[in-house]
Amino acid sequence: SPEMGQPHVPTLEKAGILNKTKVLENGKRVRRKNWIQSWTVLHGGVLTFHKDPKSTSTGGSYKSNHIVPEVTVDLRGATIGWASKDKSSKKNVVELKSKNGVEFLIQYDTENIIQDWYKVLGDTIRQLEME
């Protein structure tokens, strides 16, 4: 645990491609799911979903290294769990709820990949709780 007076920053880091959709915002259900494949980065206790560069194409000047952050989720006070079957027809769906009333579903067909994310997100949430 961190020494007195020193802020503890979670050390777990991970990056990869996940499918995600927002399902709740300000505690209100989003009208329509919008599953999007996102470059997803965990760093410093914050999860960041990035826009698909192809969906923000600027024609001829398109650069594949222009990866734009779209939304961040502060994992402090967040909860994670496997989504029940009524939440989605997809397999391997994880439910991530932030403390400010935003809920995402994250999903990936390959089980190992989603299980690794589930573990690292859960471990980070628990690290933040122990501060």
**Looking at beta carbons only, is 11 or 34 nearer to ligand I3S?**
34
Closest contact distance (angstroms) between CB of 90 and ligand I3S is 5
Quick note: the x/- pattern for ligand I3S over 15-54, rule CB under 6 A, is -----------------xx-x-------------------
**Looking at beta carbons only, is 103 or 125 nearer to ligand I3S?**
103
Residues composing the chain? 131
* Tokens of residue 110, six digits: 């390959």
Closest contact distance (angstroms) between CB of 15 and ligand I3S is 24
**61 lines the binding site for ligand I3S (CB under 6 A):** no
How far, in whole angstroms, is CA 5 from its chain's centroid?
29
The SS3 of residue 76 is coil
Of the candidate residues 58, 84, 89, 112, the single one contacting ligand I3S (CB under 6 A): 89
Pairing verdict, β 28-29 and 103-107:
unpaired
Cα within 13 Å of Cα(97), Cβ side: 12
* DSSP state at residue 56: G
Closest contact distance (angstroms) between CB of 35 and ligand I3S is 5
Pairing verdict, β 69-74 and 79-82:
unpaired
Instruction: List residues near ligand I3S by CB under 6 A.
Output: 32-33, 35, 88-90
